[in-house]
A and B are shown apart, each in its own frame.
Chain A
Amino acid sequence: MGNALLQYATVLMLSIFVGIEIIAKVPSILHTPLMSGSNAIHGVILVGSMLVLGGADTNLQEVLGFLAVILATMNVVGGFVVTDRMLEMFKPKTAKPKATSSDEVAQ
């Protein structure tokens, strides 16, 4: 068990705590965009896919790596676009004359 593994394990532990801390404060209305946003972030597997295809030295590795890059790109691109589309809708309210309160209006 090398130093590298220990270093990665440290990063893992700290990331777990950061992940939990950050999410604990999210209002429930943003849960869907949050899920979608984090979905896009795990698309970082594209970096891993590029590395395995870029390091491939047999046909099998090339085919697998090629498929991985396609799928990972879909994950990244689709994830960010969908999240953006959702969040686009959370626009601040446009100034609109506020209706008078109910007790002032005779029905």
Chain B
Amino acid sequence: MSRGTLIDLLYLFSATTFVLALKGLGSPKRARQGNMVAAFGMLVAIVATFFKYVDGHALHHVWLILLAMFIGFIVAVPTARFIKMTAMPQLVAIFNGVGGGAAALVSITEFVHIKSSHPATYVTLEVLLGVLIGTFSFAGSAIAFAKLQELMTGRPITYPGQQGINAIVGLAAATLIVIILVTASTPLLWILLALAFVLGVIFVLPIGGADVPVLISLLNAFTGLAVAASGFTLGSNLLIVAGTLVGASGILLTRLMSKAMGRSLSNVLFSAFGSNITASGATTRDDGASVRSGTPEDIAILLGFASRVVFIPGYGLAVSQGQHVLRELGELLESKGIDVFYAIHPVAGRMPGHMNVLLAEANVPYEQLVEMDEANSELQTADVALVVGANDTVNPAAHDDPSSPIYGMPIIHADLAENVVFLKRSMRPGFAGIENELLYNPKTTLVFGDAKDTLTKMVAAVKANS
């Protein structure tokens, strides 16, 4: 067997592990194993690549490659290991962005490399698509990171004629691609690079913080496609398979995520959702309706009389790092014979499944995490719905008020429970920037303050009452 065939076989092995890994990630029991399998497949592919011949010679610059890998390694590992789990969406955004950047760089390098041999038009097209999509993903991810990390406002940034300007930049990029296809000009390639960067930035600016996870998923898919494009250029089946798998699954996942919000993908991407803050943020509204607030001790008594309690956690819980105390409260209530479960909205937290990860981190038993549809059929029998740091995901306007911007979004029907308790930092509206009628409902009690502090006081009070 020739060296080349052996390496291709190893690549085939790696591609297979990627398929198996994605399949494994679909089951809670095998997910971790799946990830390990993919990591092993990746290692095999990387080691095999060191023995590959390029243009008829062994790899040059092996020490440079090792040095670059070492740099990447020592930057990525501590970042991935020690950043708080609440910051995970940002982390995925940044690792996705660098992947897109790498794909763009590979395409550029290959363009410079093969230009002298006058490549076929379709080869140049593959290169240009790789540059365009990879750079777009890189720039978009950078802005998404900045929004989630609150380095810039999470609210949509809009200006007059925005979509027109975006369309013009997009058209300019397309025109440039055609010109480069004809002229194979390297200076123009740099301009395309700059345009793709600008396009990535201006595409992401009008997308509000609540929608950024959907965007990250989309950009993740784009990076996959950029990798697939590089695979075409380099003639690598491995890159094509892996890139396309990620691209196809990522686009599907993106659609699932926007569906969970009851909105179409184009609505998520182009509507500047959350730019109009209509909520007053006051405890008394103009029509005289006012909220009722209580102390943690009041709520502890209420919980003590309940036989069934539903926790509805939102991102506010994660921000205050109150997951562990919430779990403690849940265990305490269970020990008193109270039935406890957690109702999880698909987009609670900042990514689908984010809340599950945060609660699992706090050792909440898997069985107590109930998905939205099931939770909604159980909520009628609940005595208390305890909404911790969530707002938009329990807003009844989503199904009562056709004029509401979140109309049509599936929600957790906290309003079905006998009593509703909101733990909130303030009357500030949620990500969507709209009023929540449920806060003014007579059966609702609000407890203001940091979720973790409030929960800690509630735990103490429940203990004292027993």
The answer to whether B54 and A54 have CB atoms under 8 Å apart is yes
Which residue of A4, A8, A39, A91 is within 8 Å of B96 (Cβ)?
A39
The answer to whether B337 and A100 have CB atoms under 8 Å apart is yes
Q: Which residues of A contact B42 (CB under 8 A)?
A: 40-41, 43-44, 46, 76, 80
**CA of A37 to CA of B18, assembled, Å:** 10
Chain A binder among B152-160, B264-272, B359-367, B391-399: B359-367
Q: What 0/1 pattern do residues 57 to 85 of A give for CB contact below 8 A with B?
A: 11011101111111111111111111111
The answer to whether A34 and B253 have CB atoms under 8 Å apart is yes
Q: Which residues of B contact A30 (CB under 8 A)?
A: 25-28, 31, 353
Chain A binder among B224-232, B286-294, B443-451: B224-232
The answer to whether B25 and A37 have CB atoms under 8 Å apart is yes
The answer to whether A83 and B35 have CB atoms under 8 Å apart is yes
Q: A27-B26, A90-B32 are in contact. Are A19 and B247 (CB under 8 A)?
A: yes
Q: A11-B237, A90-B31 are in contact. Are A38 and B122 (CB under 8 A)?
A: no
- B77 part of interface (Cβ distance < 8 Å): yes
Q: Which residues of A contact B416 (CB under 8 A)?
A: none
| Interface residue SS majority, chain A | helix
Q: How many residues of B contact A (CB 8 A)?
A: 124
- B256 part of interface (Cβ distance < 8 Å): yes
Residue among A11, A41, A57, A100 having the largest count of chain B Cβ atoms under 10 Å: A41
Interface size class of A (residues with CB under 8 A): 35 or more
Min CB–CB distance A87 → chain B (angstroms): 4
The answer to whether B28 and A43 have CB atoms under 8 Å apart is no
**CA of A72 to CA of B75, assembled, Å:** 12
Q: Which residues of A contact B257 (CB under 8 A)?
A: 31
Q: Which of A21-65 contact B (CB under 8 A)?
A: 22-58, 60-62, 64-65
The answer to whether B72 and A47 have CB atoms under 8 Å apart is no
- B275 part of interface (Cβ distance < 8 Å): no
Q: A41-B21, A44-B238, A92-B366 are in contact. Are A71 and B246 (CB under 8 A)?
A: no
The answer to whether B252 and A24 have CB atoms under 8 Å apart is yes
Q: Which residues of A contact B231 (CB under 8 A)?
A: 8, 48
Min CB–CB distance B257 → chain A (angstroms): 7
Q: A30-B31, A48-B230 are in contact. Are A16 and B248 (CB under 8 A)?
A: yes
Q: Which 6 A-B pairs have CB atoms at the shortest separation, nearest pair first?
A: A73-B72, A19-B248, A105-B337, A54-B59, A69-B68, A15-B244
